Amino acid sequence: MQEVFLTRRERFSGAHKLYVSHWSKEQNEEMFGKCANANFHGHNYELFVTVAGQPDPVTGFVINATDLKSIIHEYVIDHLDHANLNLDIDWFQNDLQPTTENLIIAIWDRLEAHLKGCRLHKLRLVETENISVEYFGPTHS
Ligand code: NI
């Protein structure tokens, strides 16, 4: 088997606030810094979606990169780009914080089922030039 990994980059901008409702303002600011700002603030995120599969014998593609773009946009980017991650989408309920960590898990859950002919291998989500997270899907232990 000749498995190849293909990565597509997409970008989106979103606003968020990290805030534990039963903590004091001071506690929140100490934990979350700028991200606790009461009036929200924004990040320019970069999302790297890596899929794995064998190149098709006819097309040579693991997946058509344009199709991959469409899937990422339909299920992820169109929901997140220029959205308030706390208020405009229902991905973060019950005090689940819209951190980059929780965001990458939510993106995985929305993307995985829609990929055909290849499998989702890895996501990388860049929040700032110094901070990024990676996720390989839920572990089955
Ligand atoms: Ni932030």
pLDDT tens-digit readout, 5-63 = 999 999 999 999 999 999 999 999 999 999 999 999 999 999 999 999 999 999 999 99
Tell me whether residue 118 is one of the annotated catalytic residues: no
The reply to whether 107 falls in a domain is: yes
The reply to whether 86 falls in a domain is: yes
The reply to whether 34 falls in a domain is: no
Record the pTM. 0.94
Q: Provide the domain count of the chain.
A: 1
* pLDDT > 70: percent of the chain: 99
Decide: 115 and 86 in contact? Cβ < 8 Å: no
Residue in 35, 43, 79, 118 annotated catalytic:
35
The reply to whether 119 falls in a domain is: yes
CA atoms in the 13 A half-sphere facing the CB of 84: 9
**117 is in which domain, residue-wise?**
4-15+42-60+76-135
First to last CA, the chain: 26
CATH number of the CATH domain containing 84:
3.30.479.10
Tell me whether residue 127 is one of the annotated catalytic residues: yes
| 137 C-alpha to ligand 1 centroid (Å) | 23
The reply to whether 140 falls in a domain is: no
